[in-house]
Chain A
Amino acid sequence: MTTAARADIVANVWKIVVREGDPVAAGDELAVLETMKMEIPVIAPSGGHVVRICVEEGQIVQEGDPVVEIDGTPGA
């Protein structure tokens, strides 16, 4: 089952830290958003492997938009 790490605030995608296929653990930083001059980390809600990057750097995301999708296979 895939789960998405979502944007928790309207923001600009500043940088994407992971690549598709990377193993991740719950709590890992996947991407960093920029809003109100603050660097807002997007955190993995659970462990697994990155199956899809849903955004591009520089793109605007709305609150609730998926940023990175992770599958449930055992990660790092």
Chain B
Amino acid sequence: MTQLDLAALDATPHRSALTQRRRDRMAHVEPRGARQHTARQRVELLVDAGSFVEIGPLRTADGKGTGVLTGWGRVDGRHVVVIAHDAAVASGAIGAVFADAVQKAQRLAIDRGFPIVYLNDSGGARVPDGVFALHGCGVIFALNVEAQRRVPQISVILGPCAGAAAYSPALTDWTIMVKGHGHMFLTGPDIVKAATGEDATADEIGGSQLHTVTSGVAHLEVEDEAAALAETRRLLSFLPSHAGAPMPFAPPAEPDQVAVDALPFVVPEKASVVFDMNRVLDGVLDAGERFELMPTHAPSILTVLGRLDGRPVGIVANQPGARGGILDAKASVKAARFVEFCSRFGLPVLTFVDVPGFLPGTVEEGRGVITHGAKLLKAYIESSAPVLTVVVRKAYGGAYIAMGAKSLGADFQWAWSNAEIAVMGPGGAVTLLHRRALAAADDPVALRDELAAQYREEVARPYVAAESGIVDDVIVPEETRGRLADALRMLCADPA
């Protein structure tokens, strides 16, 4: 067929009608307000160049479209399903047709085993659609929960997200918020003012600072839309496409030699002196990228994705450099959620322990630290992924158990040779056990120091735990990487 023939063919009414409809639907809409990109540009920034395929591009609710762009594309060559709210159509409000389009994409991802990325920018349920909008939102939630058992789900908050557009992310695994114009709230400032009289800005009700520092509703704050989409790609690079899928290995990379040489000196001898646990991770994990989730919320515990021998792993570690590394209600929920996520997708959990205990007192009890601490116990107990635990310094009381102890099902638990494991620290234990002797002593301070030293050697040293088989071995810091790698190779080997 010649060029001339094709041009003539395109002039036929049925062909030109299709061309016109496509042109109308693909018409460029300038991003509104603080938005930096249109819905389509956001999708194209997320996926590999030219890989996006839209589902139902001509579908419409009221002639302008569904208000949501759905389809699939590839990230680093692996398929993902993308659901992008289009704020240019009725502020991205979720109507019945919008909800049905989202559900079809969710179903595709669940059936085929592809991660789902939600690019959220929606005011919530579409008011004129009434109960049909509410029903549609509820079905999206139900599919969010069904998808939890099957594929990773990441929500990116790129505009004001109210109601259902804020609830759906809470049923997904990780939520990334853009600073400034990403908001999540039940309802915005105007309705808050009308409902309760409270006068508050959108930032105060649901800004990225509130949710990534205080509430823990979102897990990462980024500067702009491009960073949000780049971080989403980076997060996916650590995750399998679905539960049971092969892990995305990278070439193994020995840790930086400076960090390895420093490792035996990172942990201060004195148990009360703080240090940065990241220096331990630097000397043990593969060199290269790590992805820290919730870096600013409950910073006394670290939850990080990294690699060991090229294999993606989840790391839970006390951070003595923040609030002494204590466990509290928020830190427990943060760690529990992370361990539970790793378990669902088969990511081995490496736990590094240096914990003074659960923070006691009225504030924490009032926050329900018992209930929340129990969530951490449950997450480790139920983990179907390998759990490997290293006690790098002190591990006292219930916090010793909660940090992935052998009793909760850790596959292996090692202690560094300077470790102390006990029901309480030497100071408290001696006061409790030797109350009378201390009261009668001529020099109670000297006696207390002597008894504390004795307690440390006789009760708390890791040899008690190793001789009883509760700790698998006592090791020195520089042996840690090898022990972890050997165990992972064995535990993750295909069954014969």
A interface residues (Cβ-Cβ under 8 A, vs B): 8-10, 34-41, 62-63
Query: With an 8 A cutoff between CB atoms, is B435 at the interface?
Result: no
- Known contacts A38-B325, A40-B324; is-contact A63 B356 (Cβ 8 Å): no
B interface residues (Cβ-Cβ under 8 A, vs A): 271-274, 320, 322-326, 356-357, 359, 361, 363, 425, 427-428
- Among A8, A37, A41, A62, the residue within 8 A (CB) of B356 is A37
A35–chain B nearest beta-carbon distance, Å: 6
User: What are the 5 closest A-B residue pairs judged by CB atoms, nearest first?
Assistant: A38-B324, A36-B356, A9-B323, A39-B272, A37-B425
Residues of B within 8 Å of A39, CB to CB, are: 272-274
Residues of B within 8 Å of A10, CB to CB, are: 359, 361, 363
B359 near A38 with CB under 8 A, answer: no
6 contacts between A and B (CB under 8 A): A8-B322, A35-B359, A36-B356, A38-B326, A40-B323, A40-B324
B363 near A63 with CB under 8 A, answer: yes
Tell me the number of A-to-B contacts counted with CB atoms below 8 Å.
40
Residues of A within 8 Å of B324, CB to CB, are: 9, 35-36, 38, 40
Q: Give B399's nearest chain A residue, CB to CB.
A: A36
Residues of B within 8 Å of A9, CB to CB, are: 323-324, 326, 359
- Among B271, B323, B359, B361, the residue within 8 A (CB) of A37 is B271
Q: Which of A9, A38, A40, A41 has the most CB of B within 10 A?
A: A38
Complex-state Cα separation, A35 to B323, whole angstroms:
9
- Among B272, B363, B428, the residue within 8 A (CB) of A38 is B272
A41–chain B nearest beta-carbon distance, Å: 7
Known: A36-B324, A38-B272, A39-B273. 18 other contacts (CB 8 A): A10-B359, A10-B363, A34-B272, A35-B324, A35-B326, A35-B359, A36-B326, A37-B271, A37-B272, A37-B356, A37-B428, A38-B274, A38-B326, A38-B356, A39-B272, A39-B274, A40-B274, A40-B324
Complex-state Cα separation, A63 to B366, whole angstroms:
14
A63–chain B nearest beta-carbon distance, Å: 7
B415–chain A nearest beta-carbon distance, Å: 19
A44–chain B nearest beta-carbon distance, Å: 16
Q: Give B299's nearest chain A residue, CB to CB.
A: A8
Q: Give B427's nearest chain A residue, CB to CB.
A: A37
Residues of B within 8 Å of A37, CB to CB, are: 271-272, 356, 425, 427-428
Residues of A within 8 Å of B273, CB to CB, are: 39
Q: Which of A37, A39, A40 has the most CB of B within 10 A?
A: A37
Q: Which of B320, B322, B324, B359 has the most CB of A within 10 A?
A: B324
Q: Give A63's nearest chain B residue, CB to CB.
A: B363
Residues of B within 8 Å of A34, CB to CB, are: 272
Residues of A within 8 Å of B320, CB to CB, are: 38
Complex-state Cα separation, A10 to B326, whole angstroms:
11
Complex-state Cα separation, A37 to B399, whole angstroms:
15
Residues of B within 8 Å of A36, CB to CB, are: 324, 326, 356-357, 359
Complex-state Cα separation, A34 to B274, whole angstroms:
11
B8–chain A nearest beta-carbon distance, Å: 72
Residues of B within 8 Å of A35, CB to CB, are: 324, 326, 359
Residues of B within 8 Å of A40, CB to CB, are: 274, 323-324
Residues of A within 8 Å of B428, CB to CB, are: 37
Residues of A within 8 Å of B325, CB to CB, are: 38
Complex-state Cα separation, A63 to B326, whole angstroms:
14
Complex-state Cα separation, A40 to B359, whole angstroms:
14
Complex-state Cα separation, A39 to B268, whole angstroms:
12
B274 near A41 with CB under 8 A, answer: yes
Q: Give B324's nearest chain A residue, CB to CB.
A: A38
Q: Give A33's nearest chain B residue, CB to CB.
A: B324
Q: Give A9's nearest chain B residue, CB to CB.
A: B323
Residues of A within 8 Å of B272, CB to CB, are: 34, 37-39
Residues of B within 8 Å of A62, CB to CB, are: 363
Residues of A within 8 Å of B363, CB to CB, are: 10, 62-63
Complex-state Cα separation, A39 to B361, whole angstroms:
18
Residues of B within 8 Å of A38, CB to CB, are: 272, 274, 320, 324-326, 356
Complex-state Cα separation, A16 to B357, whole angstroms:
25
Q: Give B355's nearest chain A residue, CB to CB.
A: A36
